[in-house]
Homo-oligomer: A and B are copies of this chain.
Amino acid sequence: MADSKPLCSRDGDPMAAEALLRDVFGIIVDEVIRKGTSASEKVCEWKEPEELKQLLDLELRNQGEASEQILARCRAVIRYSVKTCHPRFFNQLFSGWDPHALAGRIVTESLNTSQYTYEIAPVFVLMEEEVLKKLRALVGWSSGDGVFCPGGSISNMYAVNLARYQRYPDCKQRGLRALPPLALFTSKECHYSIKKGAAFLGLGTDSVRIVKTDERGKMIPEDLERQIGLAEAEGAVPFLVSATSGTTVLGAFDPLEAIADVCQRHGLWLHVDAAWGGSVLLSQTHRHLLDGIQRADSVAWNPHKLLTAGLQCSALLLRDTSNLLRRCHGSQASYLFQQDKFYDVALDTGDKVVQCGRRVDCLKLWLMWKAQGGQGLERRVDQAFALAWYLVEELKKREGFELVMEVAPVLKERMVKAGSMMIGYQPHGTRGNFFRMVVANPALTRADMDFLLNELERLGQDL
């Protein structure tokens, strides 16, 4: 068995491996980058699950397949996948694509390393530090800490875990049973990860106290103050407020200055979930929406959303300079973080996180930033706001765009089956289902906004 023939590719031929990758890259250029971004192609080619299973022939067998078959499989995967880079994909808070970010992601995949030690990720340990420093500077901090997490939900959990650890360091060893009942506060419009996180971290969803919002979806600071009083009266210990900068459904920005005042008065950790809205900090024109963010203790910011860095790119930023992240999460595994290494082991980031292996998420953002410059990224944010306003103005000019109950699910089905565009819908409070327009793709123009309105009219003309 252990002879001199490696088993790297099916036939051990490095030229065949290279040729396969070249062909796959060619398919990506044709099918994703060209056709996938073309307004004249479909956003998706809808198939019912049972039919799609047949088309894909998903079963994994004992026999391997030849290169031509593998290439056909890549084509099928791409064909039936949704083109999130398409100018009519408005369904999520991420959309569009950036060639430099994609280049960074392909380089990342080819290098296939883990972010945990300087030893095996020298470039990326230093790069992550630099990118986090830049993001912190935009928040308004000249020092601090941070780390990239696998998504905003986990960034938010980190914030909650750090806040409780800072107040009760015993908790790491002795657990929550050694602590009084805790309470954290967030608005009705917060992301659902706050409750998910509270359950996962053992606090329970009951520990999340919901603060009222105004008609625009912003947290009401007076109600926050009231909720804190109520929690205390019930014997709970308030420890954290999670404000939201850019809520998921309405895009509302909580009033951070007033919330920071409340936190200061009560000695509470202020976390800002700016997963969606953080990128607005790049715009001189619009960054006032996050005024007060520099007073936060932690910020979650996902450049994979408005900045199109690619899934996932989610930074947790901390004002802390006391090594809280490492104290809270560290375990000093002797096989990975040897203290007798020949370089400064402070560079090993592995003990900052609850993961062991951790993907490299900094290169795609760094490379895109190098190419676009802060300026280029700022233009994108400003353009997104301008297009959103354009859309609102055009909408007002058209009749028939008031809210009609239960039309959204029908329109959604029609647009997906036609493959013409994708927009997310949901109910909200007393309002029935409505479409949530997300303007994030940097390739969008006014013409795309016009198309959207025309297509909604067309799809719904018989309703």
- A154-B355, A201-B201, A376-B10 known; A126+B58 contact, CB < 8 A: yes
A58 to B366, CA, bound (A): 8
A97 to B6, CA, bound (A): 12
Q: Which residues of B contact A70 (CB under 8 A)?
A: 100, 103, 367, 370-371
Within 8 A of B (CB), among A170-192: 171-179, 181, 191-192
- A171-B202, A343-B49, A356-B152 known; A20+B335 contact, CB < 8 A: no
Identity of the chain B residue whose Cβ is nearest the Cβ of A96 in the assembled complex = B8
- A70-B367, A121-B82 known; A446+B151 contact, CB < 8 A: no
Q: Which residues of B contact A119 (CB under 8 A)?
A: 82, 91, 416, 422
In the assembled complex, A200 has its CB within 8 A of some CB on chain B: yes
In the assembled complex, A5 has its CB within 8 A of some CB on chain B: yes
Within 8 A of B (CB), among A79-100: 80-85, 91-92, 94, 96-100
Q: A60-B134, A175-B181, A200-B354 provided; 5 other pairs, C-beta below 8 A?
A: A1-B382, A1-B383, A2-B389, A150-B355, A151-B358
Mark each residue of chain A from 17 to 51: 1 if its CB lies under 8 Å from any CB of chain B, else 0: 11011101100110011100100000010111100
A193 to B356, CA, bound (A): 7
Within 8 A of B (CB), among A341-375: 341-344, 347, 354-359, 363, 366-367, 369-375
Is there an interface contact between B445 and A122, defined as CB atoms closer than 8 Å? no
Interface residues in A, total, Cβ within 8 A: 182
In the assembled complex, A338 has its CB within 8 A of some CB on chain B: yes
A58 to B381, CA, bound (A): 23
A97 to B109, CA, bound (A): 10
In the assembled complex, A130 has its CB within 8 A of some CB on chain B: yes
A413 to B412, CA, bound (A): 60
Number of copies: 2
Q: Which residues of B contact A366 (CB under 8 A)?
A: 58, 60
Minimum distance in angstroms from A382 CB to a CB of chain B: 5
In the assembled complex, A77 has its CB within 8 A of some CB on chain B: yes
Within 8 A of B (CB), among A307-329: 310-312, 329
Q: Which residues of B contact A121 (CB under 8 A)?
A: 81-82
Minimum distance in angstroms from A419 CB to a CB of chain B: 12
Identity of the chain B residue whose Cβ is nearest the Cβ of A389 in the assembled complex = B2
In the assembled complex, A62 has its CB within 8 A of some CB on chain B: yes
Q: Which residues of B contact A375 (CB under 8 A)?
A: 62-64
A191 to B335, CA, bound (A): 10
Minimum distance in angstroms from A433 CB to a CB of chain B: 7
In the assembled complex, A453 has its CB within 8 A of some CB on chain B: no
Minimum distance in angstroms from A66 CB to a CB of chain B: 8
Q: Which residues of B contact A6 (CB under 8 A)?
A: 442-445
Is there an interface contact between A22 and B29, defined as CB atoms closer than 8 Å? yes
The 9 closest A-B pairs by CB, nearest first: A202-B202, A175-B204, A2-B386, A64-B373, A150-B150, A17-B99, A335-B426, A342-B413, A1-B386
Minimum distance in angstroms from A144 CB to a CB of chain B: 16
A193 to B369, CA, bound (A): 34
A105 to B342, CA, bound (A): 34
In the assembled complex, A123 has its CB within 8 A of some CB on chain B: yes
Q: Which residues of B contact A69 (CB under 8 A)?
A: 370
Of listed A17, A20, A80, A436, residue having the most chain B CB within 10 A: A17
Is there an interface contact between A18 and B2, defined as CB atoms closer than 8 Å? no
The one of B103, B134, B311 in contact with A112, judged by C-beta atoms closer than 8 angstroms, is B311
A65 to B230, CA, bound (A): 54
Is there an interface contact between A113 and B81, defined as CB atoms closer than 8 Å? yes
- A2-B446, A151-B358 known; A28+B176 contact, CB < 8 A: no
A174 to B177, CA, bound (A): 12
